[in-house]
Amino acid sequence: MLDVKNISAFYGDAQALEDVSLSLQPHQVTALLGPNAAGKSTTLRVISGTVAAASGSVSLESQDITKMSPAERVNLGIVHVPEGRRLFGSMTVEDNLILGGYSKRKDRKTTQRLEKVYDLFPRLAERRKQEAGLMSGGEQQMCAVGRGLMADPRVLMIDEMSLGLAPVIVTQMFQIVRDIADTGMTVLLVEQHVKHALEVADFATIIDGGKTRVSGTAEELRNSDTVRESYFGS
Ligand SMILES: Nc1ncnc2c1ncn2[C@@H]1O[C@H](COP(=O)(O)OP(=O)(O)OP(=O)(O)O)[C@@H](O)[C@H]1O
């Protein structure tokens, strides 16, 4: 569905990615894992086009999108829910959600998409008129994922969804991600919460030091002693 091939990327002179490759299978959840500063967020930025690839390619269903703008990629269905939620805190939940569908506003399906988001996250329906900045961390994360869904993604990328959330909310959010993939969406999850991520994911890739280290099914990675000892500390 989406192929990242031999990507390198820089911030100024500092190289953040070297030869990173990653494949997403349609309608599956892939977890992108690795230690701090491994290059996980940068990989998502290269896919969404907010950081340029210095070499390598990104393609969506065999169409090369490496040189496309972020807006063109959103129109193709690549949607990035960034780390830290980045909501408009003084706007209502509903207005934040509607903004997520901005690029699709001409297709007049905003209401249907809002209803779908509210079905997935009933908590957001209850709080639709509340200022987003006044909600709990978990509710804000639901709003950030919901806003991403409003753009009608084919590939939904979520960065550090579980960061700072209570365990019970983390479990709920992972279940919702699974449900989203089961509706036919392709999901790429960047996660520090390795155990949960490998439980919900179908595939996983580990990057470290800006390089791809291991890729396989989530089950293979869960059962690999080498992977566990090298990357997950047990
Ligand atoms: N905006 C930026 N400007 C300069 N360097 C950056 C920037 N963002 C990330 N980096 C650097 O790029 C490298 C990869 O960072 P990245 O955020 O992609 O890693 P990560 O795996 O997502 O880490 P974390 O889990 O800590 O968020 C790191 O060395 C980081 O310091």
- What mean pLDDT is predicted for residues 55-84? 93
Q: Are residues 72 and 125 in the same domain?
A: no
- Given 152, 170, 189, the domain boundary residue is 152
**In contact, 132 and 89? CB cutoff 8 Å:** yes
**In contact, 120 and 179? CB cutoff 8 Å:** yes
Q: Which two tokens stand for residue 143?
A: 């709003």
Strands 29-33 and 14-24: unpaired
Strands 55-60 and 63-64: antiparallel
**Can you give the residue range of the structural domain that contains 94?**
87-152
Task: Considering only residues 107 and 182, tell me which one the structure prediction assigns the higher pLDDT.
Answer: 182
51 falls in which pLDDT band (50, 70, 90)?
A: very high
Is the beta carbon of 39 within 6 A of some atom in ligand 1?
yes
Phi-psi sector, 18: left (phi>0), alpha (psi -120 to 50), beta: beta
Q: Are residues 111 and 133 in the same domain?
A: yes
- Given 107, 136, 152, the domain boundary residue is 152
Q: Are residues 191 and 221 in the same domain?
A: yes
Q: Which two tokens stand for residue 41?
A: 């967020």
Strand partners, 131: 92
b/e sequence 132-149, b meaning 16+ C-beta within 10 Å: beebeebbbbbbbbbbbb
Task: Considering only residues 187 and 183, tell me which one the structure prediction assigns the higher pLDDT.
Answer: 187
Q: Are residues 158 and 230 in the same domain?
A: yes
Q: Are residues 160 and 234 in the same domain?
A: yes
Ligand 1 atom with minimal separation from the 210 CA:
14
- What mean pLDDT is predicted for residues 51-65? 96
Q: Single out the residue of 45, 127, 130 nearest to residue 80, CA to CA.
A: 45
Tally of domains in the chain? 2
Residue 4 is assigned to a structural domain of this protein: no
Predicted confidence (pLDDT) at residue 231 exceeds the cutoff of 90:
no
Q: Which two tokens stand for residue 30?
A: 């892939």
Is the beta carbon of 49 within 6 A of some atom in ligand 1?
no
Q: Are residues 98 and 164 in the same domain?
A: no
- What mean pLDDT is predicted for residues 214-233? 84
What Å distances lie between residue 54 and 42, 47, 146, 176, CA to CA?
12, 13, 32, 35
d(CA 230, CA 234): 8
Give the model's pLDDT for residue 233: 66
Give the model's pLDDT for residue 100: 84
**In contact, 26 and 62? CB cutoff 8 Å:** no
Residue 1 is assigned to a structural domain of this protein: no
ipTM of the shown complex = 0.95
Task: Kindly report, residue by residue over 81-121, the tens digit of the pLDDT.
Answer: 998 788 888 899 999 999 888 766 556 688 888 999 999 99
Strands 29-33 and 55-60: unpaired
Q: Are residues 147 and 195 in the same domain?
A: no
According to DSSP, residue 144 is labeled H
Give the model's pLDDT for residue 105: 57
d(CA 188, CA 209): 20
Residue 5 is assigned to a structural domain of this protein: no
Is the beta carbon of 38 within 6 A of some atom in ligand 1?
yes
What's the chain's average pLDDT?
A: 91
- Given 113, 136, 152, the domain boundary residue is 152
According to DSSP, residue 104 is labeled G
Cα of 39 from ligand 1 centre, angstroms: 6
Give the model's pLDDT for residue 193: 83
Q: Are residues 72 and 121 in the same domain?
A: no
Cα of 36 from ligand 1 centre, angstroms: 8
Task: Kindly report, residue by residue over 124-160, the tens digit of the pLDDT.
Answer: 999 989 998 899 989 999 999 999 999 989 999 999 9
Strand partners, 231: none
Give the 3-state secondary structure of residue 207.
strand
Residue 57 is assigned to a structural domain of this protein: no
Q: Are residues 178 and 142 in the same domain?
A: no
Residue 202 is assigned to a structural domain of this protein: yes
Residue 7 is assigned to a structural domain of this protein: no
Q: Are residues 168 and 203 in the same domain?
A: yes
Q: Are residues 204 and 174 in the same domain?
A: yes
Q: What pTM, to 2 d.p., does this model score? A: 0.91
Residue 34 is assigned to a structural domain of this protein: yes
How many residues in total does the chain contain? 234
CATH number assigned to the domain comprising residue 176? 3.40.50.300
Q: Are residues 159 and 227 in the same domain?
A: yes
- What mean pLDDT is predicted for residues 194-198? 87
Residue 11 is assigned to a structural domain of this protein: no
